[in-house]
Amino acid sequence: MQGIYELPLDRWDYLPMGEGDEAGLAFLYFWLSANDEVELVRGHGDYLNYNIYKYFCIIRKKKKWRLLMNLIDEKLISGKVIAVSLSNTHTFSKENRNKIKLLSGYGVEGDAHFGKTVKHRSRVAQNPNQPNLRQVHIIQSELFDELKDRFDIKPGQLGENITTRGINLLELPTDTILQVGEEAIIQITGLRNPCPQIDHFKPGLLQAVIDKDSEGNLIRKAGIMGIVLKSGEVSPDDSIRIQLPSKPYRKLERV
């Protein structure tokens, strides 16, 4: 961009080449320090989308282009899928696949947790008519990096359907929307509650995926759960786009 490095770090502008309605338009860019909404009074939405789509979501409303900032932290917005897995029985670990298919309202086709009502066996014993808030299990692969000195863990081995890279899943609020790949949409419902089965897989692992913050609150690090809002196929290397819910945000709780 012309002159970008001579301008103050908190703003810069760019004068595009254009004709007709675009002639003389100037684009003014700002770094934002919080989740804000910025109205584009003048500008070309397609051009802006091309330049900064990685960071922002563009929508059109009332014949004006509005710019909604989803997330500021680049670590949260540059996510991708590194593995997908499923198991048609209630095994602890799931088998890696080339792709999985998510079906709206049900979960991962062919997986043991597929269905509108709860499939977790202990929950079924309590009340088989409970809604299934655990249709899709997602784990951040950064957890494996954190534990690698003590445990060798591969994608799918902790029972997740989708293994991610680049997203701090545990910091996302309840009801966050994840668009995974071209079509699939998942709504986050809460945290996975680690159970003693983890120690059956690798002794000592349960304690490693549980921590406490400075105030003594329990931190569950074994991934998050979600429901499928829109069907679609998911494969390794698919991108993940994030849409935050309306404020006030609600912290993830176990489901």
Spans of all domains in the chain: 4-69, 75-243
pLDDT digits (tens, 9 = 90+) for 164-203: 999 999 999 999 999 999 999 999 999 999 988 899 999 9
**Given a cut of 90, is residue 59 above it in pLDDT?**
no
- For residue 234, what pLDDT is reported? 98
- % of residues, the chain, pLDDT over 70: 69
Is the Cβ–Cβ distance between 140 and 167 less than 8 Å?
A: yes
Amino acid, single-letter form, for residue 196 = P
Q: Which of 178, 162, 166 is nearest to 83 (CA)?
A: 162
- % of residues, the chain, pLDDT over 90: 59
- For residue 21, what pLDDT is reported? 52
**Given a cut of 80, is residue 152 above it in pLDDT?**
yes
- 43 burial class (0-12, 13-18, 19+ CB within 10 angstroms)? middle
Place of tokens 């066996």: 121
36: which residues sit within 8 A by CB, 6+ positions away?
A: 69
pLDDT digits (tens, 9 = 90+) for 74-129: 334 559 999 999 999 999 999 999 999 999 999 999 999 999 999 988 888 888 89
Mean pLDDT of the chain: 78
- Which helix or strand (DSSP H or E) is residue 27 part of? strand 27-30
113: which residues sit within 8 A by CB, 6+ positions away?
A: 107, 119, 120, 132, 134, 135, 137
Specify the fold of 75-243: M1 Pyruvate Kinase; Domain 3 (2.40.33)
User: Which value, to the nearest 10 degrees, does the dihedral of the CA atoms of residues 75, 79, 82, 86 take?
Assistant: 120
User: Which value, to the nearest 10 degrees, does the dihedral of the CA atoms of residues 219, 220, 226, 232 take?
Assistant: 110
